[in-house]
Structure 1
Amino acid sequence: MPEFAPSRRQALRLAALAAPVLAARPGRAAGFPDRPIRLIIPWAAGGSTDAQMRTMCEIAARHLGQPIVIENRPGARGTFAASILHTQARPDGYTIGQIHQGVLSHPFMTRSATWDSLNDFTYILAITGYLSGIVVREDSPVRDWPGLMAHMRANPGQVSVGTSGVGGASHLVISQLFEKEKVTYLHVPYRGVAETTTALLSGQVDAVADSSGWAPHVEAGRMRLLAVWANERPKRFPDVPSIREFGHDVGGIAPYGLAGPKGMDPEVTARLHDAFKAALYDPQHLAVLERYDMPVLYMTGEEYRAWNAARLPVERDLIRRLGISFEGG
């Protein structure tokens, strides 16, 4: 799988755009917003996305002069926000939601017509991405990644691994990793990192592959982090290897961001972009990103749409190759 993180050239260019100043846009979006904005988070409350988004919305609301009301809608592989934006929301800027990699993969895993990921949304900006990895309970006999592989080979198809949903980033990554390692496993999908964390701690699954909502439990000694899929070892866990160290060029950090329904007024989109960009670089929000090992992956709406356009065929081919598509061909 190609790297998700921006190239060095792109990173340098984006850093030059990173001034946390709300750009003046005289005459734009006159009167917007004049009432609260609804933001849909397609994950359960209590996870890393929820914490990050709530902090960001609190700051963005000050710039917009209106509250931003969070609505958690977990389930459906984290695609309820996309579904609502596609089928229910008016393109007036008052309903927006989180867009992530699962939104790209979803149309390739269902017979039903869903959305065109490139043309059925108005992209506002990309924000950050998840540090993800695989964890076990501290009392597990598995001590490291090679130990997990040995345990899975000794118990083919019996080791249960929880993720935040079929076709999500972590599911696709571990499916590739286990395919390369020639091991089989029992996949147990949940509705978000809060649920996978509970499942692991309560003994419902043997391991969890998910974003860094597990980090506090690793620090507290309740979980053991075996490996991460990132470009390098995380600063907070310098003793934990990247999966690359085991010879796997898989994973990385995929950006996620905000979008609204198709057909939004460019001036309204720009107003939302400016407010959320200012919030992105606010020290209060940057502290939350650091807490969850989430990098700044800022892109404008157009840049984010272009990133998704390049990623879309990769998602399609990967899902079909792994056999989790309901489509033929």
Structure 2
Amino acid sequence: MTRRQSLGLLAGTGLSAWAPVARAQGEAYPDRPLRIVVPYAPGATNDLVARIVATKLSEQLGQVSVVVENRSGAQAIVGSEAVARAKPDGYTLLMGASGPMVFNPATYDRLPYDTLRDFAPVSLLVSFPLVLVVSAASPIRSVQELVAYAREEPGRATYGSPAASFQLATELFAKKVGATFRYVAYRGTADAVNAAAAQEVTMCLGDSAGVVGAVQGGRVRALAVTSAARLATLPDVPTLAELGIQGSEVELFTGLLAPAGTPVPIVQKLQAALATIMRQPDTRQRMDMLALTSVGSTAEEFSALIAREIDLWRTVAREANIRMER
């Protein structure tokens, strides 16, 4: 027998011996409370999703307690890093949004975590588009008029944005329509929407959950959505694709991730529970009320999405020369 054959036999024997242990871990899990870390402040969209999911996950896993812990700060880096460094035993999980998972890697030269290396994606939970809005008092009543204004007044056309995700999405839109908008930073979506409503900025692209209320309240006018299909909550607002702006589809996400190295049977058990949760009619209804789309993907689908999104937004960030510093 050659050395390579001997090593192969030993490796196979080791895997065979490990399989019952891995299965046992999955069967025994969980036997104590789980913790879902939300890298945002209480009351934010991701926090609301986490609390809905936590209650239902507790039921799916046999009434074990599932606690939501908010660890906000530094563009969601603080909470994300905490989970990346946690013990990979399935008891510390991350409610990971597009921001820390794909936009931070696209815009920061250095991060204390690597999305692809340090996390084990479990399931994509919800997705949501952005909504392009202007003030209800603005004379701009269509995307065509907005683009014409930006081309005529490149120094005066501005957009408000609270984070890299919205900034990059706006820069992608600007590139697709051949216009220039000047960036103005705000602390949160609500602040950016308020600025658009007050005509402090020409427009903003905000997440559907943070914008729909202002649209329905008559404070801002929605010109388009970035999803492939129209939003049920804004049925009269066209998609950018409908307006002939191809390649501008953007949907952000929130999903559950575990630290890398979490045993596969545990990831599979969590994924199966989350798939059930996200299909339940009352879950879908509650997500609809937040202007979110309930998904519940496989771990493999979620992993592939993250990798694709990082590649896309790295390209956009490089072309728009957008870099963040810590």
TM-score (norm 2): 0.80
Structure 1 position 181, deviation (Å): 2.8
- Write the distance in 2 (CA, Å) between the matches of 1:75 and 1:149: 35
CA deviation string 1:148-207 (max 9, x = no partner): 2233334323343223412x1x32221022123333223234454344445545665443
- 1:171 matched residue in structure 2: 167
**Structure 1 stretches lacking a partner, 5+ long:** 1-24
Report if the CA contact (8 A) 1:162-1:187 is conserved. yes
- 1:130 matched residue in structure 2: 128
- Write the distance in 2 (CA, Å) between the matches of 1:226 and 1:131: 13
Structure number with the bigger relative contact order (C-alpha 8 A, sep ≥ 6) is 1
Q: Which protein shows a greater Rg?
A: 2
- 2:103 matched residue in structure 1: 105
- 2:182 matched residue in structure 1: 186
- Write the distance in 2 (CA, Å) between the matches of 1:266 and 1:143: 51
- Write the distance in 2 (CA, Å) between the matches of 1:276 and 1:200: 37
- Write the distance in 2 (CA, Å) between the matches of 1:292 and 1:304: 21
Does residue 316 in structure 1 map to residue 314 in structure 2? yes
Which structure's residues are more often helix, by fraction? 2
Query: Is the partner of 1:98 in helix, strand or coil?
Result: strand
Q: Taking every aligned residue pair, what percent have the same amino acid on both sides? A: 27
Q: How does 1:118-157 map to 2 (within 5 A)?
A: 118-157=116-155
- Write the distance in 2 (CA, Å) between the matches of 1:157 and 1:40: 41
Query: Is the partner of 2:222 in helix, strand or coil?
Result: strand
- Write the distance in 1 (CA, Å) between the matches of 2:294 and 2:48: 15
- Write the distance in 2 (CA, Å) between the matches of 1:289 and 1:32: 28
Query: Is the partner of 1:158 in helix, strand or coil?
Result: coil
Q: How many residues align?
A: 300
- Write the distance in 1 (CA, Å) between the matches of 2:302 and 2:50: 18
Q: How does 1:172-251 map to 2 (within 5 A)?
A: 172-200=168-196, 205-212=201-208, 213-249=210-246, 250-251=248-249
**Structure 2 stretches lacking a partner, 5+ long:** 1-21
Query: Is the partner of 2:184 in helix, strand or coil?
Result: strand
CA deviation string 1:212-231 (max 9, x = no partner): 12112211222211111111
- Write the distance in 1 (CA, Å) between the matches of 2:103 and 2:309: 10
The correspondence for 1:84, drawn from 76, 82, 100, is 82
- Write the distance in 2 (CA, Å) between the matches of 1:114 and 1:152: 38
Q: Which amino acid aligns with 2:189?
A: V
Q: How does 1:268-283 map to 2 (within 5 A)?
A: 268-283=266-281
- Write the distance in 1 (CA, Å) between the matches of 2:235 and 2:33: 42
Report if the CA contact (8 A) 2:317-2:323 is conserved. yes
- Write the distance in 1 (CA, Å) between the matches of 2:283 and 2:51: 9
Report if the CA contact (8 A) 2:136-2:197 is conserved. no
Structure 1 position 313, deviation (Å): 2.6
Does residue 37 in structure 1 map to residue 20 in structure 2? no
Report the CA distance shift for 1:133/1:119 in structure 2 as closer, same or farther (over 3 A): same
- Write the distance in 2 (CA, Å) between the matches of 1:208 and 1:78: 21
- Write the distance in 1 (CA, Å) between the matches of 2:91 and 2:190: 27
Pairwise CA RMSD: 2.8
Q: Which amino acid aligns with 2:266?
A: V
Query: Is the partner of 2:296 in helix, strand or coil?
Result: strand
- Write the distance in 2 (CA, Å) between the matches of 1:261 and 1:146: 45
Report the CA distance shift for 1:79/1:147 in structure 2 as closer, same or farther (over 3 A): farther
